[in-house]
Chains A and B, each alone.
Chain A
Amino acid sequence: MAPRNKKTTTLPQAAPPMIRVEGLAHSYGTRKALDGLNLSVAPGQAFALLGPNGSGKSTLFRILSTVQGFTSGLVEVDGLAVQTQPAAVRTRLGVVFQYPSLDGKLTARENLRFQGYLYGFRGTALTQRVSELLHRFKLESHAEERVDALSGGMRRRVELAKTLLHSPRLLLLDEPSTGLDPAARRDLWTLLNALRKDTGLTLLVATHLMDEAAGCDRVGLMDQGRMVAQGTPDDLCRELGGEVVSLDSPHPEELARVVKASLKLKPKVVNGTLRLEGKTSLAQAARIMDRHPELVTRVTLARPTLEDVFLARTGHRLNQEEA
């Protein structure tokens, strides 16, 4: 869904990270939302936080947005501690919330102007900046319409223009595709990738959509308040080995038992299919089919996806409700 921008290169390792999170922990009462989380995002990178609801993404997101404190750990944006220098962090930060922060009773242009005042812009500089953004985001013909009357995709563009008015260095996006149809989603990512190319903007995207994460430079898989794996989407998928083989069976548990006993494998049963991972899995599948034809109805071979990586690391699926 998210078009990958192969041209974007990450800056040399020496560049100080745009986001640095070390040993971050936060609890709501007795429930641990974040449990010793580490994260480093280089300037200019697009980093996806991929995890199911309740994995701690939103908490991390709110902490980075400076609207929430935390129990312990280190959190820096552009070398500035969010707890002690929130005002300086805010000047470098743009936040696109899951629920738009637009005022529906105001026009697109007014929303941008009022945002400008919040950041201390005024006069002709502000007027110019607003016109420029309306032009860039192809909103000129709707500039005088109230935001309530705009389509979801257009509202998202106004939101993005509003968030970028003060030229932040880091853009946080919380589930940016929520409520967007596939076409609007593609538009959004085309815009975001163009921005990265032009301005070196750093992106941190919280998402539960595999496709969206796969389009980013790096992905962090989050589960139960921890980062269970980090890397480029390709590297993460490659770690699993060549491919993933799934065997459909009328009696998956029984199949798992006999496979374990006779082949000394450790297959997983997920939603009624038996999964084998690793380089030799296809050969193994052929043997299983040969020995227990009555227990196998279909064998599927696929390249591993981030979903598979998540499953391998955590033992459960990314999106339970959609599984």
Chain B
Amino acid sequence: MTTPSPKPVSAGVFWPAYSLFLREWVRFLRQRNRMIGAMATPLLFLVFFGSGFGSSVRPGGQDSMAYTHFFFPGVLLMVVLFTAVFSSISIIEDRNQGFLQGVLVAPVSRWAIVLGKVLGSASLGLFQGLLLLLLAPLMGLWPDVASLPLAILVLFLCATLLSGIGFFFAWQMDSVQGFHAVMNLVLMPLWLLSGAIFPVSGASGWMQVVMKSNPLSYGLSALRATLFPEQAAAALGESSLEISLIVLSATTLVVMLAALVLVNRPLKG
């Protein structure tokens, strides 16, 4: 090589994480179908379920507008969930197609792999969630402006949590087919039992216990409380915002640490 190349040093965390983060975005913007896939289903859900259930399902005896208020935060979470699923699948593809090998032989802190991949996915989820949020007024939903920044933070935490869980499972898998089981047995139930469709208070006793131990329930509560504070106050059985935020943050941190431990584990022979 003609120019004297700088001596390679351990690259630390930031730049390698930035590399993986940026790659997520570049790939996302080049794969339109991913964006359509992650946005179209929730939109359809919102339109069909929101208006279809509207008159027959009335949590807390509210009217159909209230159900849309109730349902919308759940749909936001669904967008974030789908993005996390797509991203997790890309980890398995990276492994199978060889890209991941190239990262593993680089002097990259293992934190960088977890952070780059999970935050890349979470920011994509947040971005798509925000797009949906922009459409909310079209459905007659006006999020509370004062608590909007907090709502965005909550959505980002939820995205990080779900992406982290997806990473944790995808890292150990070598087939996309296997990941579908995780999606159906872990990620979808997390969403279904978070109170996204029916409120915790309306569920039977044992179901309430299950839902109360689901960390995503707290994410959803926090999202409701920050997006539509008035309606959330009227809803029954929701946890307080403070408790929701604490549980959500703590779980997200635990999941990230678990992913880090997993990535640092020496590879099996």
What is A's interface to B at a CB cutoff of 8 Å? 26-28, 65-71, 87-88, 90-93, 95, 97, 99-106, 110, 114-122, 125, 128-129, 132-133, 136, 162, 164, 166-168, 198-199
CB within 8 Å for A119 and B23 given contacts A95-B102, A95-B105: no
CB within 8 Å for A132 and B3 given contacts A99-B97, A105-B31: yes
Contact between B8 and A120 (Cβ–Cβ < 8 Å)? yes
Tell me the bound Cα distance from A166 to B19 in angstroms: 15
CB within 8 Å for A91 and B269 given contacts A105-B27, A120-B15, A167-B1: no
> What's the least CB distance linking A116 to chain B, in Å?
8
Contact between B98 and A120 (Cβ–Cβ < 8 Å)? no
What is B's interface to A at a CB cutoff of 8 Å? 1-3, 5-6, 8-12, 15-16, 18-19, 22-23, 26-27, 30-31, 97-108, 266-267, 269
Contact between A118 and B9 (Cβ–Cβ < 8 Å)? no
Tell me the bound Cα distance from A57 to B27 in angstroms: 34
Contact between B3 and A117 (Cβ–Cβ < 8 Å)? no
Contact between B108 and A118 (Cβ–Cβ < 8 Å)? yes
Q: List 23 A-B contacts (CB under 8 A).
A: A66-B104, A66-B105, A67-B105, A68-B267, A87-B10, A87-B107, A90-B106, A97-B102, A99-B98, A101-B103, A103-B27, A105-B26, A114-B23, A115-B102, A117-B19, A119-B8, A120-B11, A120-B107, A128-B3, A129-B3, A133-B1, A166-B8, A198-B1
> What's the least CB distance linking B22 to chain A, in Å?
7
Contact between A90 and B23 (Cβ–Cβ < 8 Å)? no
Note all chain A residues with C-beta closer than 8 A to B269: 26-28, 68-71
Tell me the bound Cα distance from A196 to B9 in angstroms: 22
Contact between B107 and A90 (Cβ–Cβ < 8 Å)? yes
Note all chain B residues with C-beta closer than 8 A to A71: 269
Note all chain A residues with C-beta closer than 8 A to B8: 91-92, 119-120, 166-168
Note all chain B residues with C-beta closer than 8 A to A90: 105-108
**Chain A, residue nearest B12 (CB):** A120
CB within 8 Å for A103 and B23 given contacts A68-B267, A90-B106, A119-B106: yes
> What's the least CB distance linking A107 to chain B, in Å?
9
Note all chain B residues with C-beta closer than 8 A to A70: 269
Note all chain B residues with C-beta closer than 8 A to A164: 1
**Chain B, residue nearest A174 (CB):** B101
